[in-house]
Amino acid sequence: MNKQILLVEPGYENPYPSLALMKISTWHKNKGDEVDYIKDNAPQDYFGYQPPKLKEQYDIIYITTLFTYHFQAAIKSIKDYQSRYPNAEVKVGGILATLLPDLIKRETGIIPHVGLFDKVEGCSPDYSFLPSFPFSITYTTRGCIRKCKFCVVRLLEPKFFVRKNWEKDINPNSKKIIFWDNNWLASPNFYKDIEKLKKIGKPFDFNQGIDCRLFDEEKAKILSQTKIDPLRFAFDNPSQEGYIQNAIKLAKKYSGKDIMVYVIFNSEEAYDTPEFFYHRINELNKLGVDIFPMRYRPINSIQKHIISPQWNSILLRGIKLITTFYYSRGVIRKNRKVFLKMFGKNADEFKRGMHKVYKYDKKLNNKKSTASL
């Protein structure tokens, strides 16, 4: 007898749907099961999503989880479906479940699935629930050869391996391919992937970035001949010093493609200081690339934010205000004159400037509070 399956994505905000749930859907449909998909609190016009008419009973309910700071939304969703369908087998997995399984068990009684769901790795995603979703999502590799302490990949995907036949994941109706690889350039199949991408012919984006330490002149030439857009790197730690500058120069030499560089800050690493943050964004701005500062969020905590020992709330608030209200979408644009005005000519000017921004913001908020009395 066919089983009734419900896939649930809790009501947190996320620009992309759950790839795991889409693969689970295909897996069950291939077995002849009936599958419903629900996004709790789905935003209006969520890629053509239409909430299903939920059945009176389901055999299995899969609930995915995302980041640890989405803990409350995830637990609420799990408890809601446990209460509504007491006879269903409720399965929980995903990032939060993998990082904090004991917390899930304590709050819900469920022992969650930890790590990748190997049974569905080879399945293509089911895009039918989101008919206007414009992207295909896939991986050519899992894991990463690096083991950075601040990065969650070493815990979620501890083994680095190549995924074969990833092209089966591509929706022919999609406009662009989004790859979630953590270190594509470490793949022995890099050149084979390039040939596949040329044959497929769609624009693509490795949105986790590519490793500047593995980027060389040959790869710069090859990627310039593809539809990668944008070209993403990261400048997170001292081991990337020199490599990132060289990678940007090579990319610019062979291509006019946009370049975006991620810069993590406020982590608990000893080298992660305000001075080192300024050094990195200043170096990148001088090279004429866009910069996306990423505030570190603790890996094994339900707190959304921490303040590391090297930082303070004033500097963090100043960066937040500048990147949110002056720059579009939090990206520090390549204009040098504007950068110097916003962040200063050196680390001392940067810190003094953030203090001024913080005080100005506090003054405005005090005026608003007084006016509302």
Q: E strand or H helix at 93, and its extent?
A: strand 89-94
Give the CATH fold of the 4-119 domain: Rossmann fold (3.40.50)
Other C-beta atoms closer than 10 Å to the C-beta of 169 total: 23
Distance of CA 5 to the CA centre of its chain: 27
Q: E strand or H helix at 38, and its extent?
A: strand 34-39
CB 60 within 8 A of CB 3: yes
Which position has the token pair 């690889």?
A: 181
Which position has the token pair 């419903």?
A: 36
CB 297 within 8 A of CB 305: yes
Q: The dihedral of CA 21, 24, 30, 31: what is its sign?
A: negative
From first to last of the 373 residues of the chain, give the pLDDT tens digit. 799 999 999 999 888 999 999 999 999 999 999 999 999 999 888 999 999 999 999 999 999 999 999 999 999 999 999 999 999 999 999 999 999 999 999 999 999 999 999 999 999 999 999 999 999 999 999 999 999 999 999 999 999 999 989 999 999 999 999 999 999 999 999 999 999 999 999 999 999 999 999 999 999 999 999 999 999 999 999 999 999 999 999 999 999 999 999 999 999 999 999 999 999 999 999 999 999 999 999 888 898 889 999 999 999 999 999 999 899 889 999 999 999 999 999 999 999 999 999 998 887 676 554 444 4
Return the domain boundaries, the chain. Answer: 4-119, 141-359
Which position has the token pair 């339900």?
A: 302
Bridge partner residues of 9 (DSSP)? 39
CA distances 205 to 177, 181, 184, Å, are 6, 10, 11
**pTM of the predicted protein model:** 0.93
At 48, give phi and psi (nearest 5°): 80, 10
